[in-house]
Amino acid sequence: MDYEVLMPQFSDTMEKGKIVRWLKKEGDYVERGEVIAEIEAEKAVMELQSFKKGMIKRIVAQEGQEVEVGKPIAIMELGERVQEVKVSEAPPPQSTKVEEKKPPEVKPQVIEKKIELPPGFASPYARLLAKEKGLELQELQKEGTIPSPAHAKDIENYLKERYFTPKALELLKDYEIDAGELIKEFPQTKIDEDLLLSYVEKMGIPKKIPVSSVQKSLIANLSKSFLAPHYHIHEVFDLSLIPWDKEITLTHWLIKIVGDAMQHFERLRAIYREDYYLIYPSSNVGLAIAVGDELYAPVIKEVNKKGLREIAQEVRKLREKSEKGALSPEDIGGATLTISNLGMFGIRSFDAIIPYGQVCIIAVGAQDQEGKAHINFTFDHRVVNGFHAALFVKHLKEKVLDKNYIKMLKKGS
């Protein structure tokens, strides 16, 4: 019986997954619960376990391919593992009669002959292309430089290798450049890397940079987030009493203070569904982390139960995993609020977009000489109305100036 292995949905917001690596190949037998592939989605790489036992009959989606949730990625033939059983047979009784031995049967050997076409064979377009470029097609085929039969792609590849250095050929892939136009521009020159780059600059040709699966996920989720009805609250906070340093930074302090405050406002711990809200018992706070061109938002779980030092250690571990691209679904799921701090870059004030599925994002600007900073809030109006948002912001402003509270947090770290 055939069974389709479908692209799973690892999170509520996941729409597509990318096959990173198959751990099983066609013909392999798989037990229930055995990991068969690694899937990348929602900025994390996850292990796909088999729900059935059987043989991998066919792999539908190859490594590097993106597949929509619910679409087949492999076909399994269900059933128990077939084992070869060797049956020991008793030797036949010896006969006194001398049996005539038959000569072994000789099977005729089938020799496959590879048919090679003589030089001169080519598709009509390949002939036309060769004529346009002044190539002696038959001579090049005799040399083995161009195959026989020849196709247009063979002619194009030959021209590229003839007119471009290997580094220039690599660069060609990064730009929207017609190789034929370059050959016309420099007919008597072997085009190298420097010549190609000077041509790119002269003609103002843009460079192609593929969008990574992480960026695709971010773009898709932010596009959906922006459609949610939202509003902003802009405030100036006095953070002068927070004694942050290199070990326990301002970001670590804010994660803790915000996490404690969320315990007094259950809507800040909520996830919106069409007919109801899901309220988490603990405060799960996401943190925006940039790694090169990628943006991740790993989650510090149960912030209200943790001290500053524990939060700082967890943030460091999550950053390391982000840099390695090794975040798990557990690392990035469950947050209802995210903090984005651009203050360390001297940014005075900015607004941020709520991560998809969450209810708030806090954008932290730089502190001035008096320790004051612009902190802007974006709220999902479907979950947190203006009244409760104002109370939440007011509560935070009071907590950062509560000396006893700050002293308690520092002592508990």
Confidence at 84, pLDDT banded by 50, 70, 90: very low
Instruction: Look up the CATH number of the domain holding residue 309.
Output: 3.30.559.10
* Average pLDDT value for the chain: 85
Kindly state whether residue 105 falls inside one of the protein's structural domains: no
Predicted local confidence at residue 335, as pLDDT: 95
Kindly state whether residue 192 falls inside one of the protein's structural domains: yes
CA–CA dist 17, 117 (Å, integer): 45
185 and 232 both lie in a single domain: no
Write the DSSP assignment of 126-148 as a string of letters: HHHHHHHTT--HHHHHHHTSS-S
Q: Which of 203, 226, 253 is the last residue of a domain?
A: 203
388 and 305 both lie in a single domain: yes
258 and 362 both lie in a single domain: yes
Predicted local confidence at residue 43, as pLDDT: 64
172 and 276 both lie in a single domain: no
Note down the domain range covering 399: 214-412
Predicted local confidence at residue 121, as pLDDT: 78
Whether 161 shows a pLDDT value over 70: the answer reads: yes
Predicted local confidence at residue 91, as pLDDT: 54
- Alpha carbon of 276 to those of 35, 268, 271: distances in Å? 35, 15, 9
Confidence at 111, pLDDT banded by 50, 70, 90: very low
Instruction: Look up the CATH number of the domain holding residue 9.
Output: 2.40.50.100
The count of domains in the chain is: 3
Q: Which of 62, 78, 94 is the last residue of a domain?
A: 78
Kindly state whether residue 117 falls inside one of the protein's structural domains: no
CA dihedral 181, 184, 186, 191 (to 10 degrees): 50
Write the DSSP assignment of 324-370 as a string of letters: HT---HHHHS--SEEEEE-GGGT------PPPTT-SEEEEEEEE-TT
Kindly state whether residue 289 falls inside one of the protein's structural domains: yes
Kindly state whether residue 86 falls inside one of the protein's structural domains: no
66-68 and 16-22 strand pairing: antiparallel
Residues in the chain: 413
What pTM was estimated for this model as a whole? 0.64
Strand arrangement of the beta sheet that strand 230-238 belongs to: 230-238, 372-380, 360-367, 337-341, 285-287, 299-300
Kindly state whether residue 83 falls inside one of the protein's structural domains: no
225 and 171 both lie in a single domain: no
* Mean pLDDT value across residues 320-325: 90
276 and 337 both lie in a single domain: yes
Write the DSSP assignment of 71-126 as a string of letters: SEEEEEEESPPP---PPP-PPPPP-SSPPPPPPPPPPPPP-PPPP-PPTT-B-HHH
Q: Which of 2-11, 178-187, 221-230, 283-292 has the lowest mean pLDDT?
A: 178-187
220 and 196 both lie in a single domain: no
Tell me which residue of 52, 18, 49, 55 sits closest to 35, measured CA to CA: 49
* Mean pLDDT value across residues 96-114: 52
Dump pLDDT digits (tens) for 393-412. Answer: 999 999 999 999 999 999 87
* Angle in degrees, CA 221, 224, 230, rounded to 5: 115
Kindly state whether residue 298 falls inside one of the protein's structural domains: yes
CA 152 to chain CA centroid, Å, is: 36
Q: Which residue has the higher pLDDT, 154 or 213?
A: 154
Kindly state whether residue 153 falls inside one of the protein's structural domains: yes
